[in-house]
């Protein structure tokens, strides 16, 4: 299967460099380029790419607004958003996560890492390290300015094991780390997480993190780590 990618960045040279890097991969092809957020939304609706590599700072409609529009469109549910950012802990990253982005990469990323990032996002996984997840949640998603926990009844569709998996994902653990902690196989963990995503209508693991905090399933502990209710 060849993954179809749309590049959205107002810098033509950067788009050209990314196109060259991605087209060098056998399983990835760049199907279009957008110079601003409005064009990115239009081309996403037209081309239906698997992944949009989206810059945040673009003229007129920026990457955050474009991400929100794409992720809010039910017809574009299969499209994942990979955000271009300079700093992984930048406030823009938190806003993009809440908007529905599935991961983040730096503009200085190399060819192999860029291709791997696209594959990771396309597969429905989140591209955010455990440490970055905890820092991001502690700094933004769980601040007084963020939306307070609500709609806990949304979690009623989950089994107890699925709730536990969502809480562990929100704490920043990978499938492998969850498997080791729970004495399960990574395949079993992945299956539970995927079922939870389907039931909660989450696009990817990144949205599971947002849902976990907004429903009160987990909360930020004083040290910045996720604290699961007993």
pLDDT, tens only, 65-122: 999 999 999 899 889 999 887 655 556 667 777 788 888 887 777 778 888 889 988 8
**Mean predicted lDDT score pLDDT of the chain:** 82
**pTM attached to this predicted model:** 0.69
The reply to whether 40 falls in a domain is yes
Give the CATH number for residue 222: 3.40.50.2300
Residues 172 and 115 in one domain: no
Are the CB atoms for 133 and 97 separated by under 8 Å?
no
pLDDT in tens, 137-171: 555 555 544 445 556 788 899 999 999 999 998 87
Q: Choose the final residue of a domain: 127, 162, 188.
A: 127
- The whole domain housing 205 covers 137-227
Q: Are residues 186 and 118 in the same domain?
A: no
Give CA 27 to chain center in angstroms: 21
Q: What is the reported pLDDT for 139?
A: 57
Residues 94 and 121 in one domain: yes
What pLDDT is stored for residue 161 in this prediction? 94
Domain count, the chain: 2
* Spatial separation of the C-alpha atoms in residues 157 and 120, rounded to whole Å: 27
Q: Are 6 and 34 in contact (CB under 8 A)?
A: yes
Same domain, 34 and 78: yes
Domain shared by 101 and 214, yes or no = no
State whether 28 and 98 are in the same domain. Answer: yes
Same-domain pairing of 92 and 168: no
The answer to whether residue 132 sits within a structural domain is no
C-alpha distances (whole Å) from 35 to each of 10, 54, 92, 194 are 4, 10, 19, 34
Do 11 and 112 belong to one domain? yes
Same domain, 8 and 112: yes
116 shares a domain with 14: yes
């Amino acid at each position: 299967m060849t993954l179809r990618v749309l590049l959205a960045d107002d810098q033509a040279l950067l788009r050209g460099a990314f196109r060259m890097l991605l087209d060098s991969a056998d399983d990835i092809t760049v199907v279009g380029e957008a110079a601003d957020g409005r064009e990115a939304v239009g081309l996403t609706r037209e081309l239906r790419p698997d992944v949009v590599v989206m810059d945040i700072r673009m003229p007129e409609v920026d990457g955050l607004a474009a991400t929100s529009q794409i992720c809010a469109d039910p017809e574009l549910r299969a499209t994942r958003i990979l955000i271009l950012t300079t700093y992984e802990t930048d406030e823009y990253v938190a806003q993009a996560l809440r908007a529905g982005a599935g991961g983040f990469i730096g503009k200085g990323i190399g060819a192999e890492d860029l291709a791997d990032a696209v594959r990771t996002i396309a597969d429905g996984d989140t591209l955010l390290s455990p440490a970055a997840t905890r820092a991001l949640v502690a700094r933004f998603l769980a601040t007084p300015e963020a939306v307070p926990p609500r709609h806990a009844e949304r979690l009623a569709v989950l089994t107890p094991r699925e709730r536990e998996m969502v809480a562990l994902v929100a704490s920043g653990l990978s499938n492998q780390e969850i498997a080791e902690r729970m004495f399960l196989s990574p395949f079993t963990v992945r299956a539970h997480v995927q079922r939870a995503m389907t039931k909660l209508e989450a696009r990817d693991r990144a949205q599971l993190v947002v849902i976990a905090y907004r429903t009160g399933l987990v909360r930020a502990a004083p040290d910045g780590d996720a604290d699961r209710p007993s």
